[in-house]
A and B are shown apart, each in its own frame.
Chain A
Amino acid sequence: EVQLVQSGAEVRKPGESLKISCEGSGYTFASYWIAWVRQMPGMGLEWMGIIFPGDSDTRYSPSFQGQVNISADKSISTVFLQWNSLKASDTAMYYCARVIYHYTSSGYRFYFEYWGQGALVSVPS
């Protein structure tokens, strides 16, 4: 059974750093892209970026490029999302998801296949 288990809720002050994690199991971790998705309170889903744990190839949404860092350690089947200096506006639920992503002659196949349970990050001002 495919499972993505995320680290727990975090509370940090503005300006602090944070690294949250997403551990995969039940499949060949290095062979599937993993995405991070943000959901601010009462708002919709926003794609942040994806990483291929096999070679750490990473793509960022233009909205999040330079704002966060996505990394992976395939030896422990874990992907990370990191901030160097948190802002109050980073307060949100963050989901990781296993992604199907590849190009075909009929266009890109991209969808979030399995989701983690979410990790709430609070940065009270």
Chain B
Amino acid sequence: QSVLTQPPSLSAAPGQKVTISCSGSTSNIGSNYVSWYQQLPGTAPKVLIYDDNKRPSGIPDRFSGSKSGTSATLDIAGLQTGDEADYYCGTWDTDLNRGAVLGGGTKVTVL
């Protein structure tokens, strides 16, 4: 059972927008920065968003992050077939010495 809760799967047609939610608590999302990762099939994960809403260089602005209270969201606009992947949220948790925590992952399927 992951500390951060994500929907297991989402799907949308090319060109549409997908919103992935990540729900946590005051000890993690509510008080620390959130990051998001994309894992394409058979590859290592890659950071898409860090510090709640910042994009590393090279990440298209179709990917955007936001946070409100104890929940965070990753939006993928203008969905492309190459976006079909698993997406994970992550943050630090100060409760029970948990340390870094990650969501269970969301499989995005492009119809």
Contact = CB atoms under 8 A, between A and B. Distances in A.
Interface string A16-27: 000000000000
Nearest to A108: B92
A1 interface: no
Interface stretch (A68-76, A78-86, A111-119): A111-119
Interface in A94-120: 95, 100-101, 106-113, 115-118
A50 B100 contact: yes
Given A111-B33, A112-B47, A45 B88 contact: yes
A61 interface: yes
Interface residues of A, number: 27
Contact of B47 (A45, A47, A50, A111): A111
Contacts, number: 80
A42 to B, nearest CB: 11
Interface string B75-100: 00000000000101011101011111
A47 B50 CA distance: 17
B32 A95 contact: no
Interface residues of B, number: 30
Contacts of B31: 107-108
Q: Is the interface of A mostly helix, strand, loop or mixed?
A: strand
Contact of A44 (B32, B46, B105): B105
Contacts of A47: 90, 99-102
A116 B97 contact: no
A98 B38 CA distance: 16
